[in-house]
Chain A
């Protein structure tokens, strides 16, 4: 069973479009995250959610809107996609805040043309 899953794995779209990425974890964790990994492999946190509540928003443009319908799901919707949004987006979860390791999803490679 996959612990943290994301769909889709690949996303190719035109500038200006709107797209969503879905994430689900079956680990029973309370906290979920979105990360962006750029072409140089630099990994930066975007959002943290705890029990469906947004806790951290790392100055991400408001074109990015996360939503957590329940503890097991954290989705990411992106409006008006730009070239600079091209990256790999990783979802992750952890059981307890800052004491447990994070478990990462397989990633979604977003390419904006």
Chain B
């Protein structure tokens, strides 16, 4: 069965610092998704990575995908408080199904 693991599970960082969240998955997939969830809220799509080597950037977030290593990264540059949220990666092992990672709870301290 496909496993999707994220690390770290919890991340507390100072404003202005950089950090990377990792998403490892256990079976082949050429697609990966990143979502953000604010406390008590729904999930919001951040990035869709559709091929090996794909890189997407939005503001202070940049996501990349290495399908050979079965690894995606979400890099945070110069963190600000507004980025505090839980971040999920999700992998489709086949059609009609997505397996979500364990989530990384990010807290950016002023």
Contacts and interface: CB of A to CB of B under 8 A. Distances in A.
Interface of A: 31, 33, 41-45, 48, 50, 55-56, 58, 90, 92, 97-107
B102 A42 contact: yes
Size band of the B side of the interface? 20 to 34
Nearest to B94: A98
Interface of B: 31, 33, 35, 37, 41-45, 48, 50, 86, 88, 90, 92, 94-100, 102-103, 105
Contacts of A102: 33, 43, 45, 90, 98
A102 B94 CA distance: 15
The residue in A43, A58, A103 that gathers the most chain B C-beta atoms within 10 A of its C-beta is A43
A107 to B, nearest CB: 6
A99 B100 CA distance: 15
Nearest to A50: B96
B95 A97 contact: yes
Nearest to B45: A101
Contact of B99 (A45, A48, A92, A104): A45
Contact of B100 (A44, A98, A105): A44
Given A90-B42, A98-B94, A102-B90, 8 more contacts: A41-B86, A45-B99, A100-B48, A104-B35, A104-B42, A104-B43, A105-B42, A107-B41
